[in-house]
Amino acid sequence: MRAVKLWSAGGKRRVGGFLSLMALSTMFITGAHAEPDRSVNGEAAKSAESAILCSTTSCLQKALKNAAPGQSITLSPGTYTGSFSSDLKGTAGAPITITSQDPSQPAVLSGYAVGSGYSLRIRGDYWVIRDLKFTNAQKGILLDNSSHSLIKGVEVYNTGFEAVHFRDGSSYSTIEDSYIHDTGKTGAGYGEGVYVGSAEGGGYNQNTHYNTIRNVKFGPNITAEHIDIKERTIGTLVENCTFNGVGISGANYADSFIDVKGNQAVIRNNKGYQNNNNVIVDAFQLHEIVSGWGINNQFLNNTLYLTNPDTYVIGAYSNSSASAAGNTRNPAGNMYRGNVSAQ
């Protein structure tokens, strides 16, 4: 029996040119059934008049308080220092976008220090966050009650705790085509790459459902799990990601690439590299933190390069469960333990 992870009062567990068009609509198919629609619908601003061009921190702060649906906050190259936030909402047909003027020279949103605050917090639906860098804060990107939002083409690094957090009911949102590394600078056990939901008793809306993590490069030096999917979350999709195990610390039970405590997660077509880090006990883990949760998850067509033959591909603990098909490990070694149904 594995030790239960604890939580704290903050909800963290303790045991070229302007963007002119954005139209995204995606349907995923798993097995014989269609998954829920996870798309970020609608178009971004279509004219120069709808773009807000900023080159100073004060301009960015003002834009985050005043942008209208359909507008793009476009940042000139440079570093913008602050704990930035917005409570504004876009719409399905007109999301609010924050992006770099020149994606080849991404603007950097820097917090004040790795021990406090966040680089960017969004508390509204239908945002597009793209082609930016986030650093030097306790948390990188924080979505609070922000559904149908898209994070794309970002780099998040040098954070005190987690890099990206889908929190407080944020659902149907996506991070894709991004790079996360060097987290947990002030708390190794809390340095997740992407954190989905909240721990039991944390005070946030735990109904954080059907979020997508796609084509994200994780590591090195992510000190906790690369992805932590909390209890009472449903339908998280993780696909086409790459995990570099260098730096996983083992602190606060951080000993896997992904830890699933929710239901109906789909983990597919990912690659994981242990890279001689024997702290990693299982590539993927499942836990029952709350009765009835941590079940009915799927692991499909993942490829694991596990340098320790004693490391398992999937470990399901207590009453958690999963089905598995098409997963491979190199070199040969342990595959599954616990309630894992291999197909």
pLDDT at 37: 57
- pLDDT value at residue 36: 65
pLDDT of residue 274: 98
Identify the burial level of 167 via C-beta atoms within 10 angstroms of its C-beta, where 0-12 means exposed, 13-18 middle and 19 or more buried: buried
Q: Identify whether the C-beta of residue 63 lies closer than 8 Å to the C-beta of residue 56.
A: no
Where in 230-296 does DSSP place strands (E)? 237-239, 242-244, 258-260, 266-268, 271-273, 282-286
Cα–Cα–Cα angle for 218, 170, 292, rounded to 5 degrees: 85
Backbone angles phi, psi at 174, to 5 degrees: -140, 140
Report the 10 Å Cβ neighbour count for 45. Answer: 26
State the Cα–Cα distance between residues 158 and 114, nearest whole angstrom: 7
> Residue 146: which of 116, 129, 168 has the closest Cα?
168
Give pLDDT, residue 5: 36
Pairing of strands 33-34, 29-30: antiparallel
Give the ranges where the chain is alpha helix by DSSP (H): 57-66
pLDDT at res. 207: 97
| 135-140, long-range: CB < 8 A, 24+ apart | 135/108, 135/109, 135/110, 135/111, 135/159, 136/110, 136/111, 136/112, 137/83, 137/110, 137/111, 137/112, 137/113, 138/111, 138/114, 138/186, 139/163, 139/165, 140/164, 140/180
The answer for residues whose C-beta is within 8 angstroms of residue 291's C-beta and 6 or more apart is: 319
Q: What is the pTM of this model?
A: 0.87
What pLDDT shows up at residue 50? 85
List the one residue out of 312, 202, 184, 308 whose CA is nearest residue 250: 184
pLDDT at position 343 is 85
Q: What is the mean pLDDT of each run of 10 residues along the chain (343 residues)?
A: 34 37 35 49 46 97 98 98 98 98 98 98 98 98 98 98 98 98 98 97 95 98 98 98 98 97 98 98 98 98 97 98 98 97 92
Q: Which CATH architecture has domain 29-254?
A: 3 Solenoid (2.160)
Report yes or no: 261 and 287 within 8 Å, Cβ to Cβ: yes
